Amino acid sequence: MVRCIKCGANIPEWSLYCPICGALQEIEKPKIVFDATHYETLRYNKHLPFIAEKMLGFDVQILRGSWKEHCFEKMDVFREVTGIVLGGVENWSLMSRGEEENLTRFVAEGGNLFITPGSLLYMEHFLAGLNRFISRFGLIFGDEAIRDDYHFDGWHNDHVIIDAFAIHPITEGVKTICFGDYGGLPLLIFRNEVRALAITDADAKPPHHPVLAIAPYGRGYVIVFSCSTTFEKDKYDNLRLARNILKFMDCRGKAGGFRLMGYVQSTSEEEEEEQPPPPPPPPPPE
């Protein structure tokens, strides 16, 4: 039950009109956050915010500014949020431990987190820190790019084609996807409750390895995918997969709602120096 926005009467949460006073009830939009403060690969991506806002009705917030602000140490960032997208942090050392703890608590209390690795050009700058963080959810990334000499898109064998999917709302209607520039990393799963939703085929290196997985954690979920650049182009079912992932992140009524409590406000008083963003990746060789 919820309260009518006009008369305050208790009414069923699905009611469009109050049966007491007849007032039209406002439909609250789910809120999703895209982080662009840690030099994410997806910070230039226009497709995902568009899908979230225009197709799925999300209230979209894009975090911008300096990594020095450590936005995820601020409690207000998480308020009324159902999902957070970390689309390829290219330098994980810029993510504070306080931010990691708050993101973990966000998931445990019913939020959903979507994570991809950064551009593989910067793997040495993000892999160790990213794996340290996601290992708490029961999985990590491998350290060599997936390749397939027989099933790839275009001219590069790291643009791997994936067509083996488990049945799940995230994979509904998805038959084929492909990696984009610089490819993706295999996932290594070490907890039974983590479910692989897509794998490489028998000809890939490595074969039959997860590239998409969902990890339940507390009352929420962490969704992990192997390649950020998959969502740069509308090819195959790439953007259908993006839509499904974002739709799944609307957790209203699924996990009991996210409650704001106990977040880490600060982790260090050491002086921090601004670091320049990494240059955009060069075009792949022809």
Backbone φ and ψ for 65, nearest 5 degrees, come out as 120, -165
The pLDDT-based confidence of 286 (bands split at 50, 70, 90) is: low
Dihedral over Cα of 273, 277, 279, 281: its sign: positive
- Unique residue bearing structure tokens 């397939």: 148
pLDDT tens for each residue of 155-197: 999 999 999 999 999 999 999 999 999 999 999 999 999 999 9
pLDDT score of 268:
40
- Unique residue bearing structure tokens 């799940």: 168
Q: 259 pLDDT exceeds 70? A: no
pLDDT score of 220:
95
Structure tokens given for 135: 């290992």
Candidates 286, 281, 284, 233; CA nearest to 123 is 281
Q: 271 pLDDT exceeds 50? A: no
67 class by beta-carbon count within 10 Å (0-12 exposed, 13-18 middle, 19+ buried): buried
Candidates 254, 208, 231; CA nearest to 87 is 231
The pTM assigned to this predicted structure is: 0.81
> Average pLDDT for residues 49-64, to the nearest whole number?
92
Q: In one letter, which amino acid is 265?
A: Q
Q: 27 pLDDT exceeds 70? A: no
- Could you tell me how many helices (H) and strands (E) the chain has, helices first? 4, 14
> Average pLDDT for residues 141-152, to the nearest whole number?
94
pLDDT score of 260:
42
